[in-house]
Amino acid sequence: MLSPEQIEGAIAIARAAAAAILTVYDGEFAVERKADASPVTAADMAAHHLIVDGLARLTPDIPVLSEESAHEVSFEQRREWSRLWLVDPLDGTREFVKRNGEFSVNLALIDHGVPVFGLIQAPVGGALWHAQRGGRAYRRDGDDEREVQVRAPAAQPLRIAASRSFHSDRAERAMARLQREAPGGIDMLSLGSSLKFCRIAEGGLDLYPRFGPTSEWDTAAGQCVLEAAGGAVFDPQGRPFRYNQRAGILNGDFVAVGDLALPWKEWLDG
């Protein structure tokens, strides 16, 4: 776990990364493509260097696995890490390129596969969510901070988060089932990046079913914040997500849920 001073240090690092991202966002920037065809910009790299260097000073004994340098670390190396920082310096680069403001900075501390600290910073607007496992979840706006909690019982109609940039036939079928089977039907909101987890954590949304690829750094911080707020992130069998357990860093399907009494498996298994 992190001390209060280390939490404030992580927040300062995330805010510095957000400021660097906005410097690029407010000007002209080039978009390159990585080997997997995903976009990368100067903002991703500026945030990456600030975060990696900052965490090395803050917690020199904890290694960092960042999206922008993960290709340099073998599974044989990182499988020996009982604790690590899992970082997405700019989650939602596609939304950054579209200039819709729906992107974030994700920092998660993983201990034996479990996210024990999570922080999500929204560069546009400046909101920041953070939590430690076993504690409570908080939203900070400037110097003002308040506790956040999921909405339980869930709303009717059920408020569903959908990915802004990723769609599939499976997702469309799942939404159709939810519309038929959820009491009161559903209202769907498209939103980019890990901000979907934050919206569930603070009671603005109820459910986020995801069919299709995400990476571990896309979900770890959001899972920690959501769990501390009273929700959870499950795989299709109802098991909580775990991290740095496999050679691949791609997640399978999952559902992020606020009200744990929701029969989401029954709704989505049809």
Task: Kindly report, residue by residue over 134-185, the tens digit of the pLDDT.
Answer: 999 999 999 999 999 999 999 899 999 987 666 667 777 878 888 888 888 8
Q: What are phi and psi of 227, to 5 degrees?
A: -60, -40
Per-residue pLDDT tens for 32-78?
Answer: 988 777 889 999 999 999 999 999 999 999 999 999 999 999 999 99
What's residue 266's pLDDT? Answer: 85
Mean pLDDT of 114-132: 98
Alpha-carbon distance of 82 to 111, in angstroms, equals 6
**CB of 14 within 8 A of CB of 119?**
yes
What's residue 35's pLDDT? Answer: 79
Instruction: Give the mean pLDDT of the chain.
Output: 93
What's residue 197's pLDDT? Answer: 97
> Per-residue DSSP letters for 150-214?
--SSPPSSEEEEEESS---HHHHHHHHHHHHHSTT-EEEEEE-TTHHHHHHHTTS--EEEE-S-E
What's residue 165's pLDDT? Answer: 61
Mean pLDDT of 194-214: 94
What's residue 175's pLDDT? Answer: 81
